[in-house]
């Protein structure tokens, strides 16, 4: 109980002190009015937080990580031997295009992937075609060429290791990654 009271006092003191400081004298002359030895906690210099996490283009891009935000979704899946972005992924690509448009300093890496069947090198080229397709769509929606690098991982980085259609479907995929994520 006592601890709580002390805390409340301290917080109130800080609040009051802060108010008096800013309202009375922006030049900082209020330091003079402090009474030495009284309410030392309250008189500790305050720390102003600079929050970059909500700022687009910052080190941490919270809308991109917020599970409730469509921007946190990054993968586009394909049918066998297909490269076109299916209609169901259109809102996803549109959201990322808008994000890139509104944040022109942001860079994206698109990694195209294929299932394991066939030649490794030919699959690198097929994965590239998938990644190129997503990039083209993002650019048609206003993103800039310089913001996006489309590359291929071919069949080399499967999300699912199985030798069956269920696994292959997971691996026919393009992933959109932002700077700092790869």
Partner 1 sequence: MSPSRFAPFRWLASAAALLAGLLGAIPAHAQLSIEITGAGAQRIPVAIVPFAGEPAIGGLTQVIRADLERSGLFRTLEVPPLSPSPTERSEVNFAEWRARLADALLVGSVAARPDGRFEARFKLYDIVQQRDLSGIAFTLSKDQARATAHRIADFVYEKLIGEKGVFSTRIAYVVKRGNRYELQIADADGFGPETALASFEPIISPAWSPDGRRLAYVSFENKKPVVYVHSLVDGKRHVAANFRGSNSAPAWSPDGKTLVVSLSREGGSQLFVLNPDGSGVRRLTSSAAIDTEPRYSPDGQWIYFTSDRGGSPQIYRMPAGGGTPQRVTFEGSYNVSPRISPDGRHLAYIARNGGRFQVALLDLNNRQVQILTDSDRDESPSFAPNGRMILLATVINERGVLSAVSTDGRIKQRLTTGGGDVREPAWGPFIE
Q: Are 41 and 14 spatial neighbours (Cβ–Cβ below 8 Å)? A: yes
Residues 97-116 that bind partner 1 (CB under 8 A): 109, 111
Binding status of residue 80 toward partner 1 by CB under 8 A: no
Number of residues that bind partner 1 (CB under 8 A): 25
Neighbours of 180 (CB within 10 A): 11
* DSSP string for residues in 16-39: HHHHHHHHH-TTSGGGGGPPTTS-
Shortest Cβ distance from residue 122 to partner 1 (Å)?
5
Contact 182, 108 (CB under 8 A): no
Query: Does 159 sit near partner 1 (CB under 8 A)?
Result: no
Strand (E) or helix (H) holding 148 = strand 148-154
- Closest CB 107 distance from partner 1, rounded Å: 12
C-alpha to C-alpha distance for 30 and 48, rounded to whole angstroms = 18
Cα separation of 136 and 125, whole Å?
16
Smallest distance, partner 1 to C-beta of residue 111, A: 7
Cβ distance to partner 1 smaller for residue 95 or 124:
124
CB of 17 or CB of 154, closer to partner 1: 154
Distance of alpha carbon 75 from alpha carbon 175, whole angstroms: 5
- Closer residue to partner 1, CB minimum distance, 163 or 166: 163
Taking the complex as a whole, how short is the minimal distance between the CB of residue 182 and partner 1, in angstroms? 5
Q: Are 165 and 117 in contact (CB under 8 A)?
A: no
Q: How far is the CB of 30 from partner 1 (least distance, A)?
A: 54
| Site residues (CB under 8 A) for partner 1, limited to 41-60 | none
6 counts as binding partner 1 under rule CB under 8 A? no
Cα torsion 77, 82, 84, 86: sign: negative
Give, as ranges, the residues between 114 and 153 that touch partner 1 (CB under 8 A).
Answer: 117-122, 124-129, 132, 149-153
- Residues contributing to the site for partner 1 (CB under 8 A): 109, 111, 117-122, 124-129, 132, 149-154, 156-157, 163, 182
């Amino acid at each position: 109980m006592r601890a709580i009271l002390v805390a409340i006092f301290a917080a109130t003191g800080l609040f009051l002190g802060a108010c008096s400081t800013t309202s009375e004298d922006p030049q900082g002359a209020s330091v003079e009015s402090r009474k030495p030895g009284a309410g030392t906690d309250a008189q500790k210099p305050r720390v102003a937080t600079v929050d970059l996490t909500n700022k687009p283009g910052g080190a941490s891009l919270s809308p991109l990580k917020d599970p409730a935000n469509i921007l946190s979704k990054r993968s586009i899946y394909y049918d066998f031997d297909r490269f076109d972005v299916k209609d169901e992924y259109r809102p996803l690509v549109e959201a990322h295009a808008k994000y890139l448009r509104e944040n022109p300093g942001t860079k994206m890496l698109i990694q195209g992937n294929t299932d394991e069947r066939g030649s490794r090198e030919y699959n690198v080229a097929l994965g590239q075609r998938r990644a190129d397709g997503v990039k083209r769509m993002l650019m048609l929606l206003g993103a800039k060429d310089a913001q996006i690098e489309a590359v291929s991982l071919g069949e080399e980085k499967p999300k699912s290791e199985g030798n069956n259609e269920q696994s292959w479907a997971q691996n026919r995929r393009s992933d959109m990654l932002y700077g700092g994520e790869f």
